[in-house]
Structure formats: structure tokens, C-alpha cells
Amino acid sequence: MKKHKMALLGVPLLALSATASAQGSVTLYGVLDTLVAVGQGSLTDRTQLTHSGNTTTRIGVRGVEDLGGGWSAGFVLEGGILTDNGAGMASNANNQAGAPSLGAAQGLTFNRRSTLSLFSPWGELRLGRDYVPSYSNMNTFDSFGNAGVGTAIMALLGVTSSTPAGIRASNSIAYHLPAGTLGGLYGNAMIAWGENAQGTPNEDDGDYQGVRLGWAQGPWNVAFATGKLKQLGNDSRPRNYGFTYNFGTVTYALGFADERLGGIKGKGIQTGVEWRVGVGQVRASYGSYKRETGLEPETRKLAVGYVHNLSKRTAVYTTFAHVSNKGGAGYALNGSTTAANQSSRGLDIGLRHAF
Amino acid sequence: MKKHKMALLGVPLLALSATASAQGSVTLYGVLDTLVAVGQGSLTDRTQLTHSGNTTTRIGVRGVEDLGGGWSAGFVLEGGILTDNGAGMASNANNQAGAPSLGAAQGLTFNRRSTLSLFSPWGELRLGRDYVPSYSNMNTFDSFGNAGVGTAIMALLGVTSSTPAGIRASNSIAYHLPAGTLGGLYGNAMIAWGENAQGTPNEDDGDYQGVRLGWAQGPWNVAFATGKLKQLGNDSRPRNYGFTYNFGTVTYALGFADERLGGIKGKGIQTGVEWRVGVGQVRASYGSYKRETGLEPETRKLAVGYVHNLSKRTAVYTTFAHVSNKGGAGYALNGSTTAANQSSRGLDIGLRHAF
Amino acid sequence: MKKHKMALLGVPLLALSATASAQGSVTLYGVLDTLVAVGQGSLTDRTQLTHSGNTTTRIGVRGVEDLGGGWSAGFVLEGGILTDNGAGMASNANNQAGAPSLGAAQGLTFNRRSTLSLFSPWGELRLGRDYVPSYSNMNTFDSFGNAGVGTAIMALLGVTSSTPAGIRASNSIAYHLPAGTLGGLYGNAMIAWGENAQGTPNEDDGDYQGVRLGWAQGPWNVAFATGKLKQLGNDSRPRNYGFTYNFGTVTYALGFADERLGGIKGKGIQTGVEWRVGVGQVRASYGSYKRETGLEPETRKLAVGYVHNLSKRTAVYTTFAHVSNKGGAGYALNGSTTAANQSSRGLDIGLRHAF
């Protein structure tokens, strides 16, 4: 049997708009986003084929079942994919450092989201692994949707991106306000456990609490979030707030971050616009971030980009970004390296397809 | 493109009852089961968000194709998921100890079942990784379906649960009696290979043979299984037998296990009831297990639980269990630890959803 | 809830012929192929339950979306499965040696193919991980489709099979000629990056370029491919060419390989036939491979096989192969080992099912 004959087989998943049965629906979905990413720094440059320049790549299955009386059950299982090589991404079991790096041997996990929910008229109870409130909230103010070289730097200290439970927490129980019934009010509160053995010095490590509260009405979307993660001698406390205002074809965003990691504080500001132009979208943002330690290292980033939608599901895009550093900072873009106080540039050119 | 817009995309998998075509069908299915599990012991207590308190979590694809003349082909690919953090579960390639522990980096494998079958009027030939006969059989007598804190302890020595090939075997060839044509008789026989290099001392390690035979007619279900696994200096021989009797809304179960691991013998007894009450199900079981070595360590467990079905697919549940130890045994529940001859208690409260 | 009741749940994927909507389709597909493989050599023999004796096992999702004007977008995510134990297969992130071996803990990756494509009337732009041109091309001349004990040995040095990027490359950008519009001409060109840090001695390792060009018209299919992979001190250069001719029920194949790995050269020849006989297919091939080093080790292989199609999707098959070695070669089949200049035999008996 020749390989090309295999292409005739397979189970077509009918691409209809959701004609869910009375009992509910289950959906297979995903995003592939592959790009050429160029980085330039004062020390080394880099060119890569990589993933997630416009939207983070993923594959997932989600479902919802109507239980009657305004109640329903639902789930999401969603994992990241390195579309440049096909590997998956690891999860984190206990909201603490130390997950192994398996590179291209990393199999698919549902690292992005693994949740089981019970919805009622009074809100949603959500169990499992999910975004922490402060990360969902920060994303509101990022005109580049936290993907690619244009990603906001308002939380550069890493409290909301590279620390454990900075983006997501495992072992979490969350309550989400019901959608659409509170006059624009939305929000959620989450607790998560590190699940360490009792009686050890790091007994509480990985324990997390956080909350998000926002209000979206007409052109306004105003949101605030804060959280706290225990990590032996290095607790983190992310916090951010801001708003977006929609002028019609233009959406303006302004956000502030104020974070603490152990004894270090950091402050960020992020502002940007998204402008719909025909089937395209122009995006621009400016952000700065300063650590309140030593020489007060500071980084500033300017990013501009264009997304050309070939359809509702498919787009080509490009983003250019420039960062400048001072106070000893040496932040560089797209895998390049740059010396302290030097600048760096990055360019993304990619293709994104959702299904 | 904002993340929440992604939710409009995706391929809905129509949740119809199986309108399989003439050629056959392929089905995507799964179970998510997430719970709070509390354990108390004389030494340490523990509270976790964990998985599989009522039904073991999984995601799978299965299919069947009619080949005509009473013949068909079929497959099952099914993997476990840690729904509290989204990681997968590892398989075991050679029915021997030593599979690495990758924690939250463990990607999805089809560790639960990876089988390809040819069905004929005379039975089924099944190839790949699957339950061993003694494990499938033992499950018959467990009123808690081998999930959660109420799980039967009739095979506590581990011959049928924690030893290699105690639950499943890879590299197996099995024959299953045809369903529904033998007056209630059912059963299967399996051989599996460890596939070690020839001429080494452990050449036969991981080689397995087992058989199960049962009879289900009217209210009766009587079943027996035995098996043998080669492990250098530590061969295991699980065996169990018993029956269930269905009184209508109540099903009574009684089972016995008699196992050997190297030079150690263990004996277990398990009894329980499942009682349908409206949309709910009350379950209770009692089991004891004794090793015939030294002080003859012995553990006894009492479990009671209630499952409230919100629909055919979704349930909330709770289970309470208590164990007592003597003869030096120190078995503890839900991640707690307890001193020799001390007791332990566990409580599960969870949500289960199947799709 | 009893496990066997679970079987009633699940989302049937309607097995209809592709009634894709106007916007496109998404398809879940796969191949399971499980076999008993016996190997005999002068030193040790071996019997295993293994996978991929007729067609390499896999599971995948693919989709295509019509963008209008002759343009479309498409993707393929496809990963290998060890159907004998349910584990996945690893990818390779940088086209270089050193991917870890995780055995049965290896989770599913999309190691076989992870591509995102933009199709236009002038051809296809394909990004991600895919076959390198020389491997796709070599497969044309292999009457056993590069699966099982009959697999062609025309590239035994491994330049096109076991070296990094010998089969597939990650981080690749490829251009494929449009299908069906160039009078039988087909082909593709690929570049791929190793993405090493700049300024290191192995800066270029994993960088690959390759090209394939063929012509298929009436009974003829003539094809040529070449490529080059940088590996510090050990660059590889695969090359192969040949043709197939279809006499009606019989297809004849003849191919030549000429490869270089560091300072070693190897040359192979492969010839074979595929003969359709009712619902069956008889296959036979002969190949030889010689390294131009030292005693000029040489291996010859004769293979014969029969595939009996039980349906379009399901087949049982058997293949027998014999190899002879000289010049110090000790190539052996199906996991057996054989001394230098000794022969080896292998037998496959298996079941293959595609969905």
C-alpha cells in the first residue's frame, strides 16, 4: 500500500457550525502558527524557523453538556505544540521549579489547560490546570496577544511569565463569575496547591491564591488582578491593572504591572493600539520595565506589526520590534544576545491557521 | 486575534448516537475525573487535587470495521491523563520494572490500551497492550471499580496492581471467546513477551501467560483468573475468583485473591454492594489482606460512598474509607503516612464527566 | 459506573466520504500495524510482537481550507505509535544527533509530520517538520514501502535512514511544484536549519538543503533526489534515482543510491515488483549495498511477501527476507544478530488497519 493512498482514508470531522445535540457537543480544535524569526543583538544574531509568532500553537478537545436548570458540565484539554518540529510542551505538576526539559522528545501533554467545570446560574466551579488570574488579566493590555516578538514586557521580572505558576497553575480550584448576567462585571478567584509532603521546610511551596476582577461595558474594559505564590525564600506577587477602550476600528490599551519576586520589585507599563484596516490589522505597542534594584536595570520596547487575514481562520503576519536597555539590562529578541545597555531588534514573518 | 475569539473555531464532533456507516465507525472518547482527596494517618496528613476518584481518566480513539461474513477489524488507542495537571502516563515496553518517571513532562501515551483486533464468529484475536486477564477479573469484585480511596485491597501485595504486567501487558497476543454465543460463558487467554536479548540470565523476564474464564447468566456472574509473569528471582502468580449476584437494585460482590510474588504469599478477600437509589448509587465494601510472612502483616479496609448522577455522563461523588493495620502493616490512604499497626482515613469529593 | 458501560459513550466521528463544507475539512486518521517478527542470525535469534511491518503506524489530524482564487491553507500533524506498547516516538529539534531515548515513557509527538502549508496555483509553501526530498524519493523504488523486514537496503550506510535529517528535517521551509498542472513533472526543494548558537564550531550543524525532481506520465515514474546535511566533520550527502514502470497488474521498480557520510561512500541498487492478484498483492525485491571502505563490506537482501486485503482498510500480510554479508558486513534482520560474513533471515506475520 503506497503512502499517498493513505490520504484517501481518515475520518472527516465535518466542519459545520456547531449543531450541537440536545446533550451537548465535543469539539476538536487547534492552532498552527509557524514563522521565520530573525534576531539581532550586539553580540550574536539568530535566524530560526519557530512557532507561535501570532497565536500560540495548540491542539485541544473541549466539550459541554447541558444538565438542565441552567446547569452544565464542561471540559477543556489543550496542549501546546512546537510546530517547527512536532514536539509537545511539558506541564508542571506542583507549581514549583524543576520540570525536566525533554526537547524534541517531549510528548504532547495538556499543559495549556486541563480543566473540568460545573456551570450554574451563580457561576462556574473549575478544577485542574489553567491560567492564573494575573496572567489572563495582563493579556488584556497586550496588543500583540502575548505571542511573538511584539509580546508585552510589562512583567519582565518574570513573575507573570517564567516563574512557576506565573502563567498557569496545576491542582487549582477556581470560581468564575457567571458570564453576561452581572452588568459587565467579570472575574475569578483561584487557589492551587503545591502538594508537598507535610512537615518539610518547603511544605507550602507551590501554594497559590489569586483573584481577577474586571468590568466590560460598551467601549470600556477595565481589569485588575493580583496573586501570591509561595516559593521557599522567593515568594512571588504579580499584580496588574489597566483598561482598553474601543474607538470602533481602533482599540487602545493601557496597563500597569507591579510585581515582587523575593526581595526584588519590578514595575512595568504597556500601551498599544490595534487598528482594523479592511481584512488586515495594524498593531503597535510601547512598553517599559524597570527593576528596583542596583542600577535599576530598565528595558524599553517598541513593536509594530501587520496581520493580513486570508480568511477567518488563516492569516499571514509580520512584526518588527526594537528594545533598548540601560542600567545594566541586556534583554535581547528572538534568540539573539546583546551586551549590557545595548539594543536588539527582531523580525517575525509567519503563517497562522486555526481549525 | 484575541484568544477568546479562538473559541468560535474548532471542529464540532457531532454528539449523535452512533450512526455508523456500512463500513464502520471511529469514535473519540474520554473521561475526566478530578477530585479533592484528603488523607489522614498517624504520621502525616495530606490534601490534594488529584484525578480518577470515581473512574480512571483517559482519552481514546476506537474504531470497528465490518469485513463481512461475521468478521470485523477493530482497534483501541487509549491513554491516561492526570487531569489535575494535564500530563500523560507512561507505558511499559517490556513488562519489566524500570520505566522512567517523567512527572509533568510525561507526554500522552496509549498506556491504557493499544490494541488491534480481528473478530470472527469463533472469537477475537487481539494484539498489543491490554489488561492482563487477572486484573480484568479482579475488577469484577470491586464495588468501587478500582478507582479512588474505596479501591479494593484484595491484591495488596501488588501482584495484580503494582508489579510489571500486574495490570497490563505489552507485546501481548490474546484470544477472547466470542461474546453472547456461548450461553453466558466468557473468557480470554493471553501470552506476552518481555523481548529480552537471547542468552542473558534474564532472557525470559517479562514473559507472561494468563487466562480468565467466567459465566454470566441472569443475576449471576462467576469468574476465575490466573496468570504467571517471569521476573528474575521474583516471578509473580496472581489468581482471583468470585461472583456477583444482582438482586435488582442491589448488586452483591464477593471475591478472593491468592497471589505469590517470589517467595511471599498473600491472600485477600473482598465483599461489597452497589445499590441504585433514584439517580444515585450507594456503594460499600469491606476487604482484608494478609501476607503470609513474618508477623503476617494484615490490613483491613471499610469504604462507603455515594455517586450522584447529574446525567448519564456527569456525576458528583464522595467516598470515605478507613483502614486498620496489624502485624506490622502500615498501609495509609490518599498520600498520608501512618506508623505500623496504626489506622488511616481518606475522603474523596469529586466530579466525573465522560464524553 | 462499570467500565464496560463507558463503551456506550464517546463521540462517533461519522465515517462518511468527505462531505467537506465550503470552508474546508479536518480529518482524524491513523494506521495500526502490529505483527509477530521473527529473526534468525548466526549468533542470536529473536521473536517479538512489534509494529509497522506493512505500513508505519501513526495517528494524525490534517485539514485544508479553501481561501479562494486557487489558494488554500492546509496542515498535517502526524505522530508515530509503537502499537505493541502504546508509546509514541520522539522528534528531533535541530537535525542533529542526540535525541534522548525515553522508551515506553515517550509520549506522542508529531514526529512524522508537523507542517503548515499555503497552496497557490504556482505551488505549495510548506513549513515545519517533514520528509527530506531524498527519503521521499527513495521510497518510490522500494516495493515494500519502507516497512517491515522487506525494507530496501539501497541506503544501508544510513545517510537516508538513520542519520539526523536522513528521513525528516525539522525547521524546514519547502517549495513543492503544483500537482497535476505541469505535464507529469513533480518535485520539491527544501532548506532546513540546525539553529545552533552563532560563533560556535558547530554553528552550521543540522543545516540541510535538498531537492527532488520527478516525472510521472502513463506507466512511467522517473525520479531523482539529492541533498546535503552539515554535521561537524561528518557531513552527509544522500542521492538516489530510478524509475518504476506499471505493466498493468505488475509494477516494476529499479533504483540506485549513491551516498556519502563524512569520508565514507556507499552505493546501493534496488529492484522489485508488486503484482496485484485478486484482492492480494505479491511483492518481491532484491537489493545490494556496498561501502567503499576497507574490505568493502557488502550486504545483499532478497525479500518476498504477500498482502491479503480483507477490505480497503484492513489487510493481513507476511514477508520473508534473507540477507547475505561479505567483506566483514554483519547485517541481521528483525533484532537477531549475526557474525561477520554470515547470513540472517526474518519473517513478519501481521495485521494492518487504517482509519
* pLDDT greater than 50 at residue A5: no
The ipTM of this complex is 0.92
pLDDT at position A6 is 31
In a domain, A135, yes or no: yes
Are the beta carbons of B28 and A26 separated by less than 8 Å?
yes
Contacts of B162 (CB under 8 A, 6+ apart): none
Residue A275 DSSP label: E
Would you call B1 an interface residue with chain A, using a CB distance cutoff of 8 Å?
yes
Instruction: Provide Rg for chain C, Cα atoms.
Output: 21
pLDDT at position C20 is 38
Place of cell 464477593: B254
What pairing do the DSSP bridges indicate for beta strands A58-68 and A46-51? unpaired
In a domain, B27, yes or no: no
pLDDT at position C232 is 82
State the pLDDT confidence band at C107, using cuts at 50, 70 and 90: very high
Please write the tens of the pLDDT for every residue from B100-110: 678 899 999 99
Exposed / middle / buried, residue C160 (Cβ in 10 Å: 0-12, 13-18, 19+): buried
Would you call C9 an interface residue with chain A, using a CB distance cutoff of 8 Å?
no
pLDDT at position C202 is 85
Please write the tens of the pLDDT for every residue from A282-328: 999 999 999 998 899 999 999 999 999 999 999 999 999 999 999 99
Would you call C109 an interface residue with chain B, using a CB distance cutoff of 8 Å?
yes
Q: Which of C14, C32, C86 comes nearest B91 by C-beta?
A: C86
Please write the tens of the pLDDT for every residue from B290-323: 999 889 999 999 999 999 999 999 999 999 999 9
Mean pLDDT computed over every residue of chain A: 91
Q: What percent of chain A lies above the pLDDT cut of 90?
A: 81
Can you tell me the mean pLDDT for A124-147? Answer: 96
pTM of the model: 0.94
Mean pLDDT computed over every residue of chain C: 91
pLDDT at position B23 is 63
User: Between C232 and A60, whose confidence is greater?
Assistant: A60
Are the beta carbons of B11 and A197 separated by less than 8 Å?
no
In a domain, A25, yes or no: no
User: Between C185 and A202, whose confidence is greater?
Assistant: C185
List, in sequence order, the alpha helices (H) in chain C.
3-6, 133-139
- Chain B touching partners, 3 or more CB pairs below 8 A: A, C
pLDDT at position A278 is 95
Assess contact for C131 and C212: CB atoms under 8 A.
no
pLDDT at position A98 is 73
- Chain C touching partners, 3 or more CB pairs below 8 A: A, B
Please write the tens of the pLDDT for every residue from B4-37: 333 334 555 543 323 334 467 899 999 999 999 9
* pLDDT greater than 90 at residue B66: yes
Contacts of B295 (CB under 8 A, 6+ apart): B327, B328
Q: What percent of chain B lies above the pLDDT cut of 70?
A: 92
User: Between B132 and C98, whose confidence is greater?
Assistant: B132
Would you call C102 an interface residue with chain A, using a CB distance cutoff of 8 Å?
yes
Contacts of A249 (CB under 8 A, 6+ apart): A275, A276, A277
pLDDT at position A96 is 87
Residue B162 structural domain:
32-354
Residue type, C352: R
Are the beta carbons of B108 and A107 separated by less than 8 Å?
yes
Segment (H or E) for B139 = helix B133-139
Can you tell me the mean pLDDT for A229-256? Answer: 94
* pLDDT greater than 70 at residue B160: no
Are the beta carbons of A195 and B15 separated by less than 8 Å?
no
In a domain, B204, yes or no: yes
Bridge partners, residue A199, by sequence: none
C-alpha cell at C308: 491479503
In a domain, C73, yes or no: yes
Instruction: Give B 62-81 residues with CB within 8 A of chain C.
Output: 62-63, 65, 67, 71, 73-75, 77, 79
Would you call A200 an interface residue with chain C, using a CB distance cutoff of 8 Å?
no
* pLDDT greater than 80 at residue C186: yes
Q: Which of C114, C173, C354 comes nearest A85 by C-beta?
A: C114
Task: Give whole-number Cα distances, A338 to A329, A349, B322, in Å.
Answer: 9, 22, 61
Q: Rounded to an integer, what distance in angstroms lies between the CA atom of residue C113 and that of residue B144?
A: 42
For the residues of B11-57, what is the DSSP string, one character each?
A: EEE---S---BTTEEEEEEEEEEEEEEEEE-SSB-EEEEEE-SSS--
Angle made by CA atoms A46, A48, A51, in degrees to the nearest 5: 135
pLDDT at position C17 is 28
* pLDDT greater than 90 at residue B46: yes
In a domain, B337, yes or no: yes
Residue C80: how many CA atoms within 13 Å on its side-chain side?
16
User: Between A313 and C1, whose confidence is greater?
Assistant: A313
Can you tell me the mean pLDDT for B64-81? Answer: 97
pLDDT at position A23 is 62
Would you call A182 an interface residue with chain C, using a CB distance cutoff of 8 Å?
no
Can you tell me the mean pLDDT for B200-227? Answer: 95
Task: Give whole-number Cα distances, A340 to A39, A46, A268, A269, A297, in Å.
Answer: 16, 18, 19, 21, 9
Are the beta carbons of B93 and C82 separated by less than 8 Å?
yes
Query: B65: which chain C residues are within 8 Å (Cβ-Cβ)?
Result: 311, 313-314, 353, 355
Segment (H or E) for A315 = strand A314-326
Q: Smallest CA–CA separation between A174 and chain B, in Å?
A: 12
Furthest CA-CA distance within chain C: 67
In a domain, C336, yes or no: yes
Q: Smallest CA–CA separation between A182 and chain C, in Å?
A: 35
Q: What percent of chain C lies above the pLDDT cut of 70?
A: 92
State the pLDDT confidence band at A234, using cuts at 50, 70 and 90: confident
* pLDDT greater than 50 at residue C22: no
pLDDT at position A341 is 98
* pLDDT greater than 60 at residue A34: yes
pLDDT at position A15 is 33
Can you tell me the mean pLDDT for B61-85? Answer: 97
Please write the tens of the pLDDT for every residue from C245-302: 999 999 999 999 999 998 899 999 999 999 999 999 999 999 999 999 889 999 999 9
CATH of the domain at B180: 2.40.160.10
Q: Rounded to an integer, what distance in angstroms lies between the CA atom of residue B67 and that of residue B73?
A: 7
pLDDT at position A11 is 52
Residue type, C256: F
pLDDT at position B198 is 82
Would you call B107 an interface residue with chain A, using a CB distance cutoff of 8 Å?
yes
Q: Which of B12, B351, B353 comes nearest A20 by C-beta?
A: B12
Would you call B22 an interface residue with chain A, using a CB distance cutoff of 8 Å?
no
pLDDT at position C87 is 95
How many folded domains does chain B comprise?
1
Query: CA quadruple C199, A33, C180, C252: dihedral positive or negative?
Result: positive
In a domain, C20, yes or no: no
pLDDT at position B24 is 78
Collapsed DSSP state (helix, strand, coil) of residue A185: strand
Task: Give whole-number Cα distances, B17 to A21, B61, B324, C102, in Å.
Answer: 10, 16, 46, 39
**Which regions of A80-138 does DSSP assign to beta strands (E)?**
113-120, 123-131
Are the beta carbons of B65 and C12 separated by less than 8 Å?
no
Q: Smallest CA–CA separation between B143 and chain C, in Å?
A: 9
